[in-house]
Amino acid sequence: MKFTDTLLLSFRTVKSNKLRTGLTVTIIAFGIMALVGIITAIKAMNQKFSESFSSMGANGFTIRFKERNINFGGGRGDDLAVSKKGKKEKQSNLNKPITREQAEYFISHFRFPGAVSGISVFGGRSNILSFNDKKTSPNVVLLAGDENYLDLNAYKLLYGRNFTAGEVSGAQNLCILGFDVAKSFFGEAMDRGINTTVRINNLPYRVLGILEGKGSTFGFSRDNMVVTGYQNWARNFGNPATSYVIAVKVAALKQLDAAVGEAESFFRSVRKNSITEASNFAIDKSDSAVQTAMNVLRYIRWAAIVIGVITLLGAAIGLMNIMLVSVSERTKEVGLVKALGGKKRSVKTQFLLEAIIISVLGALLGILLGIVIGNLFSLVLHTGFVVPWDWVVYGIVICTIVGLAAGIYPAVKAGRLNPIEALRYE
């Protein structure tokens, strides 16, 4: 019997047992669906993370305050002093947040070829903006920065202009509205909002510009915000305990490590860290947040693989059991084939092909369902359509191996049947 004849016979046999085939295909499909679905969702999350945390680009970093851990119980530390009083004073100094004066001193004295730096501060996410009789919910994010803030954080102006250095240093009541806030006040004709006066927490501010929309991340809008100058924020809303953030962007990626080293060395002197002390501030490269997120997603990916493998193992056992039942049910058929001259090898091949066909059908159905379910998650995240092509191939290969492994023993058992005894089997 030719291979093509054996293959066609296997297809006919699989097609004739619709219920049994359907149940087995469904079991395998669920395993592959779980695997491909989670991998697709993870790829969508990777894409969203890359979009959300690439605001400064790969060639930037930030300097922010890092809390010091104070050890109680007399442990060894870099900040130990001779007297208890001296220790308290020293640790208190190290635990102070980055002040506006320290940030300004860094900006004015840090010199690195081609570097652009800026100051910013987070003004909270419970602010209220109003315009005429319209008012926002108390959930608007207030950000304050200098004239480089928009460039350093990849914000683009849809209408209007940016702050000037003089306006920032003069602490003028000027602001730039996020897309969502501007749309809630001015509708589609947002350009009418330029040079109007809005109120931020009941203080009047003139609108200089309106930002392009950035969308949302995990249901949180990145456009429900307002930006003002950091000097103005310090005058109207400032809190002495608030820590300022310094952002630096270099001209080329190859300069990043050198710039980070120089910035850390220089800012240690600004913060008065001694040689033996660890830095009481943190330097975050712009891709560090997304790398942390990617590491978390990597663990989720491995969990998905384990779930898929366990499910496929159960499916393989079920498929083998079904194929063994099939051998028993078709004993007379096998005996007839052998009596007509069919070879032992042809019988084995037929049962193996049936197992592989069922397994691959389950893989195709599972891959299709997995991609659909995974992309439902991408719709929630507002990312593009994602297809994990590598896992499409892996899924088909894995299921082929599963079908082959599950079909070997039933195929061998069918091939060993004695044609005389098989024809007499009831």
3-state secondary structure of 178: coil
pLDDT of 38 reads: 80
Residue 362 makes CB contacts below 8 A (sequence gap 6+) with: 24, 25, 26, 27, 28, 29, 31, 32, 315, 399
- Which tokens belong to 393? 């191939």
What confidence category does residue 230 fall into, taking pLDDT thresholds of 50, 70 and 90? very high
pLDDT digits (tens, 9 = 90+) for 379-419: 777 777 878 888 788 888 877 887 777 777 666 666 665 55
> Which of these, 346, 327, 307, lies nearest to 406 by C-alpha position?
327
Which amino acid makes up residue 53?
F
Tell me the average pLDDT across 152-178: 93
Please say if the pLDDT value at position 68 is more than 50: no
Determine contact, residues 135/184, Cβ cutoff 8 Å: no
Please say if the pLDDT value at position 121 is more than 70: yes
Please say if the pLDDT value at position 301 is more than 50: yes
pLDDT digits (tens, 9 = 90+) for 348-387: 777 777 778 888 888 888 888 888 888 887 777 777 787 8
- Which tokens belong to 30? 């669920």
Please say if the pLDDT value at position 81 is more than 50: no
Give the number of other Cβ atoms within 10 Å of residue 342's Cβ: 17
Whole-angstrom distance, CA of residue 324 vs CA of residue 24: 13
Task: Pick the range with the lowest mean pLDDT from 44-48, 188-192, 375-379.
Answer: 44-48
Please say if the pLDDT value at position 233 is more than 50: yes
Better-predicted residue by pLDDT, 13 or 355:
355
Please say if the pLDDT value at position 343 is more than 80: no
Please say if the pLDDT value at position 195 is more than 80: yes
Tell me the average pLDDT across 233-239: 90
Rg (CA), the chain: 33
Q: What DSSP element (H or E) covers 423?
A: helix 419-423
pLDDT of 144 reads: 95
Determine contact, residues 249/116, Cβ cutoff 8 Å: yes
Give the number of other Cβ atoms within 10 Å of residue 122's Cβ: 14
Whole-angstrom distance, CA of residue 292 vs CA of residue 287: 9
Please say if the pLDDT value at position 88 is more than 70: no
Better-predicted residue by pLDDT, 393 or 174:
174
306-337: string of b/e by CB count within 10 Å (b at 16+)? eebeebbeebbeebbebbbebbeebbebbbeb
> Which of these, 39, 14, 49, lies nearest to 292 by C-alpha position?
49
pLDDT digits (tens, 9 = 90+) for 95-104: 678 999 999 9
- Percentage of residues in the chain having pLDDT higher than 90: 28
pLDDT of 221 reads: 74
pLDDT of 208 reads: 95
Please say if the pLDDT value at position 135 is more than 90: yes
3-state secondary structure of 170: coil
| Beta strands in 305-364, from DSSP E residues, in sequence order | none
pLDDT of 83 reads: 39
pLDDT of 403 reads: 76
pLDDT of 128 reads: 94
Better-predicted residue by pLDDT, 291 or 250:
250
Please say if the pLDDT value at position 71 is more than 60: no
Mean pLDDT, rounded, of the chain: 78
Tell me the average pLDDT across 327-333: 60
What confidence category does residue 219 fall into, taking pLDDT thresholds of 50, 70 and 90? low
pLDDT of 337 reads: 61
Better-predicted residue by pLDDT, 279 or 15:
279
Whole-angstrom distance, CA of residue 328 vs CA of residue 264: 75
What confidence category does residue 267 fall into, taking pLDDT thresholds of 50, 70 and 90? very high
